[in-house]
Structure formats: C-alpha cells, structure tokens
Structure 1
Amino acid sequence: MKPKKIFSTFLILFISAQLIAQPRRELVKVIVTPNHTDWNYQIGEQAEFSISVMRNNVLMKGIEASYVIQPELVEVWDEGKLVLKDGTGKVKAKKFNQPGFLRCTVSVEVDGKEYSTYATAGFEPDKIKPTTTLPADFEEFWNKGKEELSKIQINPVLTLMPERCTATVDVYHVQIDNIKGKIFGILSKPKKEGKYPSILHVPGAGIRPYYGDVWEAEAGFVSFTIGIHGIPVNLDKSVYDNLQQGALSNYWTTNLDDKDNAYFRRVYLGCVRAVDFIESLDSYNGKIGVTGGSQGGALSIVTAGLDDRIDYLAAFYPALSDLTGFLHGRAGGWPKIFRDDYTNKPEKVETSKYFDVVNFARFVKVQGWYSWGYNDNVCPPTSMHSAYNVIDAKKELHVFPETQHWTFPEQHELKNEWFFEKLRE
C-alpha cells in the first residue's frame, strides 16, 4: 500500500476514535485565550485572558461570566464575575513568580445550563524541576527485577486471528510469560518474508480489549500492542468492564506501600518482556521504537529508561510523572494519588519513587518525540514537564496548548512521520 493511502486509512481510524476522545460540540461556546499567542510567559509577568461567549457563532452581548484563576489543580488565586457587554471581556492575573502554569476557568449560565472552559498559561515550563527524588538503590532494584525476568522463558503462544488478517498482513493473539503471570497482546506483521523495524504500543490506563495496528504492518513494520493486566486481550468487552469495576478497580494503588509487590513492578518488567518477544521474531530487523499516550506515554519513557534495546520513543501526555507534586503545593501526575490522607503515608510516598516516570526519564538515552497540551486536565503539564526536563538525550517537544487529554489528528501525523522516518533509517 502506498504511504499516502496508509496515512489516509490511519486518519479515518483516528478521527473515528477522536469522536469519543474529544469533547463534544455544544450550542454555547465559551472561549478563553491568553494574550500571548504561544501561551508562554516569563516568570514575573502578568497573564491576561480574553473571554468571549457565542451561541450559533454569534457573540452573546450582556451575558455574565464567572471566572476563577489559579495554578493548575491547587489553591484559587482570584475569582469573580464580569458582564460581557459586547460578548467579550478580559481578566488579568497577578504576577506568577515561579516556573509553572496558571489556569483561568470561565463559566456562564444560559437557559439554566452551565457552559465552561479554561485556558492555561505557561511560565518558563522548561525550568520546572521535579519534586520526587531518586532512591539510592533505584538502579539496583530494577536490575534485580530484570535479572529475575531473564530467568523466565518467554514461552510465546501465537494464535492466528484469520478474521483480522488482510491480504498482506498476518495478525496473531500473543501470550508470553512474565514475572507473576503473563503478558498478552496483538501482533501484526507483514506476510512478505523479510526483516522489518518494530513498533511496540504500550497502553493507556484502563482495562479493555486490543485490536493491533494492521495499517502499521501494511506500512512495513512489525507492530505489537500489549495489555498490561495479565489477561487475554481478545475477550468480550463485558469481561474488562467487570474487572474495571471489581478486581482491577484503582489497580494503580495496589500494594503501593511495598515496592516488591506494587502493581506496576510486574507491568514495567512486562514491557521489557514484550521487547524480549519482539527480539525473538525472525521478521524483526533489530530496530525498535516504543509509543503510547497517558499511561502509555509513561510506559514509553519507562521502557526506554529500563531497556537499552529501544532505539526511539514517542510519548503523548505521559502519566505517572512527579507523583509527589501535591505534597509540595503544586499539581502531581495522574493518578493524583497524593491528594488525600489515605495515600499520603510515608511508606507509600517512598514506594512511589520507584515507579515515578521522572526517575526513569533520568536514564533515557534515546532520541524521543513528545507532545501534550497545557490544558490537560488528567495529566497536569507541570508533572509532564518535570519528567521531560530531566531527560538527557536528544528530544523534541510539540506543545498544542489548547488540547486537554486528547490530541488533534495533526499531532499523530507529525508523530508518525517522525517515528517512521527514524525507524526506517
């Protein structure tokens, strides 16, 4: 298939996904915009936010708007109301005197329904430093884990999925052995004999089935998409929904006070095991990239930090970054576990350091492509910059300020162009 056709196919699939991921359009639009076009400011500057409210794309004159200004997810600095005489208005924040982000949220009520949105100004985010610290035995802990993993045979079981295969691609459900259980995934690879670069897809948070990336295999890649929960990834969706509401609810806090048994230990080592599997394939040419978004963005950085076989990484809005931020008066990363007294225990805080993306980012040595938005309300930009800023490797960050916890198609197009070119070099 020609590259243009491949990208067109992907774009159709991606736009379909975005219908779920992106916020739906509403009758009344509230628009908030910082007065710097790139949404960036110097420390000590004052950000000014422009507000407009429209219905049917026409400004709503005389409407009253409520606003709140605060650093993201922490204490309110200022709040008030203003009447938008011609449908527009402005509010000015006080000076922001440290690296970070300042958010202005605006809401209006129309016919008994509330409409709201926000914009987030960045203040020298490249100077944000993490609050978490690196345990003295961090490398020893993970080297021990990888040594334990190496003693377990991969024992791959590949089951052809004829209903998902195409004229040029074979698709398999895969089972491999991990520490304390299995890793399951979907392998898509070209039918044509040869050696191909590989892409490892690591998943976002949640429990769900997976379908693999046939279009990547059609483009000449060995594509492997994994689940992290040790259960097959081709079951009926109801199985995953029941687990989400039951046994795997809030899995990220499981054994948070015990680093040897914390949930993500098996997950992180499972990503290394996925690389072991890819390396064992006859069709693999020795070059591999890892990619994902949110929890998958975190796992991309973790995998690159743990496994020197990774050649490139591409991460969207990485979760699990600088988890201790809330203990220092600023936003911490998803899943925001240190916002309440139940989790704010010394042993849990200490354990979190062994799984915080910041501490894996310190060991990333491969070239990376990263992208997120300042308006992300799931993975706060403060937390993501905390991880990005400690990476000592060639890197590029593509900020799309207005995006929340979703992406524009253009972001994925940019990522794939970069990723594919690097892996084909």
Structure 2
Amino acid sequence: MKLLAHFSLFLGLLSITLKAQNTPAPIKLVDIILTANHSDWNYKLNEEATVKISVLRYGSAVENAEIEYQYGSEQLTPEKKGTLKLENGVGEINIGTMNNPGFRQLKVQAKIDGYVYKNEIKAAYAPFDIQPTVKLPKDFDVFWNKAKAENNKIPTDAQVTYKPELSTATVDIYLVRLQNYKLGHYFYGYLSKPKDNKKHPVLFNPPGAGVKKIVPFTSYAEKGFISFTTEIHGVNPEMNESDFQEMRKNLSDYWAINLNDKNNYYYKAVYLGCVRAIDFLTSLPEYDQKNVVVTGGSQGGALTIVTAGIDNRVNYISAFYPALSDNSGFLYNRAGGWPSMFSDKYQNNSPEKTSTMEYYDVVNFAKKIKIPGFYSAGYNDNTCPPTSTLAAFNSVTAPKEIVITPISAHWRFGETDDQSIKWLREKCGIQ
C-alpha cells in the first residue's frame, strides 16, 4: 500500500514537472505586423486604404519573406488574391476602397521554416453611417407585447438554493431555477449577492452563445451589484455529464430551431427569459428599487439590447459586439451577424425564415431602446462582424457611447471592461 502511494505521488510530481517543462509560449515566434495608413483604421468613402506588412522574428525583419494575401469586402468572396515578396521584411498593399459604408478585409499569411503564420486587418469606411438591411415589421410591438402578456401568466416558480461551497467571504452564491415560456420549461442562473445587508442595483448578465454549464461569477457583486448570470437552454449546472452531452448534441445549431415559425422560434423563449430574469431580480428584497442594469457580450450582447428594447424596467446597459444583428446582411451582399444564418453556408433564405428573423433581429430591438447605453466592438471580429454590430449601434437613438478598439477580434481588452464597469457604477451611483 505504501509503495502504491509513493508511486502515485511520483506520477503526480512527474506530471507537474512535465507541464512546467512544456509551458506554451505566450507569444509567437514569428509576427506578421499589419499597419494601416490611418491609425484609427477609419477611412472616408472612395478613399484608398494601404497596409504596410512586416514579418518579424525576434523583433527583426525576416529577409526575403514571401506572403500570400487576399482582400475584399468583409466576410465575402475575396476580390483579389496574390503573393508578395517583402524586401527587408517589409511591403505594402493597396486594398482598394468602398463607395458605401462598410469594411474591407485583408488577410495575409507567410510560411517560415515550415510553419504558417497569419494575420488580418479590416479598414472601416464611414462605419457610423452603416444602416441595417433588416426590415422592422409593422406589428413588431404588438407581437412582443402579446408574447410578454402570455408569459406573465406562467408562474415564475422560483427555486433558490444557497450554495455555501461556492460563496466567498464577501459574496453569497445561490443556484436559481426559473419557469418561463410554458409550464415545465425552466432555465438556470447563479445569483451573486454582496454580504452586507444593504440595498443594491440589480444586474442581469445573459450568456454568450453555445450550450455549456454556467459557473458562478462574483466580480459584479464585488463591485456593488446584485448580479444574475444565466444560461438559456435549461441546462442545470449540476446535471450529470452524460445527460449534459446528450442535451448539447440535441441543441447544436439551436438558433435554427423553428426558424420558419415566428410564434415558435427557439429564441422566443430565450427573449422572454430575459424579461423573466428582470422579474426575478426586481422581486428581491435587496433590490434598491431604482437601478436595473444588463450587460453581456456576443449572444449576451444581443440579449442585453433585446432586454432593454423589450423591458422598460431596464435603466442602463453595456453591450459588447452583439450577435444576431442585421442577420439579413448576407442577402444584400454584405456581412451579416452571428450565426451567419443567411449566408451561403446554411441556405436558409426562404421567405418564412427571413420574415421570422425580422421579429428577432437585434437591430429592431436597438431601435426601441430609450435608455443610456455603453457599447464596444472591434474591427477584427469575424464572429460578430463589425458591419453587423455597427448596424445595431447606429440604430440606437437613445443616449449612447461606444469604445472601438480596431485590433480586437471576438474578445475585449481588460481596459474596456474597466471602462464599462466604471460607467455602470457611476450611472447607478455606486461609490
């Protein structure tokens, strides 16, 4: 028995040692640096954009490097492909221009010592003039008011379970189950409350895309909010792994479920679930009776805008690169939002499906927003293309501000997160 214990300890130490010896490099051995001739990557219509390309190893130019490149309108078939040999590791490409607001995209790659290195950049043309392609149905408000009224008849049936093992010295964590949409239909979330017995603003934090188990998130509570982080599929985070994987398999491409039926489309329950989350938060005795905040990114950014557009109890929002925005863009020969449902990849452009999406497109909820908002996006985002996210932002007529970090892809910098939280705290009067 002792020998077995010693052997197990040896294997554990060996595993730790091997991991330490094989720590992945935090930087690339070879960098491709793309530098637009406008530092903010913004251009006027009909103005040509040029990009300097530098291939560096150890910070120095790679002699006689050759790159492959392609460029054209964002997310569409490239207009031109070619190769370019870089003198002293540096070259330049003119990627053309646009006569309508939008984005042009340059992708490059170089093969160095058998390894392929890539980078890309997008030039923005009058990005704050981008207008959506999606139409607003005449009965949009009627449709959603009826849906909310029907949902109000469904009991919340809230089940709130304290989780001491997940709580911290300053934050209490609760697992919450809420009924929504129809009897027996539930979704889950983790509620985080500061341990100070005071009244606080409430914050709803809807999830990004995918089918996954949620985990507690205490950061918002540590900054003065009572926060509620949810999922949308009815995935209990404590369910066994085999059941979870089966559910995950059945919900692949969930965004396409009943897309031809506006009354039963998958996101109807999701959007009404956002309202149900606000019902729950505003029922808490610790709610300060004044401030309701929503914040999220990607699908969570979409649901942030949807919640503000559908529920007038919301006071402030912070939305990052919202998905599901201007989905019909691909039908008009330009990039549409995640999940690119009307692109050639999915062949979804039947009249029934495009009509359904008009009732669920984030752009049409953005038009309904009447409260202040903080927004953020990056130009190099290929998941939620900036053509689509700017179409949503430009549709907001309420007070708004946006932080653009052009180099960001489908992620954001910590500095931008800090700005968002500071903005929300100031709006809610948190000292």
Q: Same fold (TM over 0.5)?
A: yes
Secondary structure (helix, strand or coil) at the match of 1:275 reads: helix
SS in structure 2 at match of 1:389: helix
- Asked whether 1:260 is paired with 2:263, we answer yes
Check if 1:397 corresponds to 2:402: yes
Equivalent residue for 2:288, pick from 285, 290, 295: 285
Cα distance between partner residues in 1 of 2:231 and 2:310:
18
Give the stretch that moved more between structures: 343-352 or 191-200: 191-200
The 5 Å alignment of 1:92-131 reads 92-131=94-133
Give the match's secondary structure for 2:383: coil
Q: 1:78, CA displacement in angstroms?
A: 2.1
Equivalent-residue separation in structure 2 for 1:218 and 1:61 (angstroms): 51
Q: Distance in 1 between matches of 2:176 and 2:89?
A: 57
- Counterpart position of 2:335: 331
Q: 1:239 to 1:208 in 2, by over 3 A?
A: farther
Are 2:380 and 1:370 equivalent residues in the alignment?
no
The partner residue of 1:302 within 281, 300, 306 is 306
Structure 1 partner of 2:138: 136
- Could you say what secondary structure the match of 2:71 adopts? strand
Cα offsets for 1:3-59 (capped at 9, x unmatched):
xxxxxxxxxxxxxxxxxxxx9632211111211001000001000011011122221
Q: Which letter does structure 2 place at the counterpart of 1:98? A: N
Distance in 1 between residues matched to 2:416 and 2:341, nearest whole Å: 29
**Contact 1:32–1:106 (CA under 8 A) maintained in structure 2:** no
User: Displacement of 1:362 after TM fit?
Assistant: 0.5
The yes-or-no answer on 1:382 pairing with 2:387 is yes
The 3 A distance-change label for structure 1 pair 236 and 59 is farther
For residues 84-128 of structure 1, the C-alpha deviation after alignment (integer angstroms, 9 at most, x for no partner) is 111111011223211000111111111222211111010001111
8 Å Cα contact 1:209/1:237 also seen in 2: no
> By how many angstroms is 1:320 displaced?
0.2
Q: Are the structure 2 counterparts of residues 348 and 213 from structure 1 closer, same or farther at C-alpha, using a change threshold of 3 Å?
A: same
CA distance in 2, matches of 1:58, 1:237: 49
Give 2:42's aligned residue: 40
In structure 2, C-alpha distance between the alignment counterparts of 1:215 and 1:61, rounded to whole Å: 47
CA distance in 2 between partners of 1:305 and 1:212 (Å): 27
Aligned to 2:13: none
Counterpart of 2:113, as a letter, is D
1:412 alignment partner, SS class: helix
Measured in 2, the distance between the counterparts of 1:364 and 1:24 equals: 41
| 2: CA distance, partners of 1:104 / 1:33 | 11
Instruction: Tell me which residue corresponds to 1:18.
Output: none
Call closer, same or farther: CA 1:142–1:24 in 2, change over 3 Å: farther
Match for 2:29 among 19, 27, 30? Answer: 27
Counterpart residue identity of residue 257, structure 2: T
- Contact kept, 8 Å, 1:41 with 1:123, in 2: the verdict is yes
Asked whether the equivalents of residues 210 and 234 of structure 1 are also in contact (C-alpha less than 8 Å), the reply is no
CA shift, 1:242, in A, is 4.0
Within-5 A mapping of 1:208-357:
208-235=212-239, 239-244=243-248, 246-286=249-289, 287-340=291-344, 342-357=347-362
RMSD: 1.5
- Check 1:237–1:87 CA distance in 2 against 1; reply closer, same or farther (3 A cut): farther
SS of residue matched to 1:304: helix
Q: Tell me which amino acid in the other structure corresponds to 1:326.
A: F
TM-score under structure 2 normalisation?
Answer: 0.90
Which segments of 5 or more consecutive residues in structure 2 lack a partner in the other structure?
Answer: 1-24
> Which secondary structure does the structure 2 equivalent of 1:383 belong to?
helix
| Larger-gyration structure (1/2) | 2
User: Aligned partners of 1:196, 1:336: CA distance in 2, in Å?
Assistant: 39
Once the two structures are aligned, what percentage of the paired residues are identical?
Answer: 46
Scaled by the length of structure 1, the TM-score of the pair is: 0.92
**Shift in Å, 1:399:** 0.4
Distance 1:237 1:54 in 2: 45
Matching residue of 1:12: none
Deviations 1:280-328 (A, max 9, x none): 1000012111010000000000000000000000011100000000000
- Evaluate the alpha carbon distance shift between residue 408 and residue 239 of structure 1 in structure 2; reply closer, same or farther with a 3 A threshold: farther
Matched residues, number: 402
Q: Which runs of 5+ in 1 are unaligned?
A: 1-22
Letter in 1 for 2:41: W
Cα deviation for residue 232 of structure 1 reads: 1.5
User: Is the 1:292–1:315 contact (alpha carbons within 8 Å) kept by the matching residues of 2?
Assistant: yes
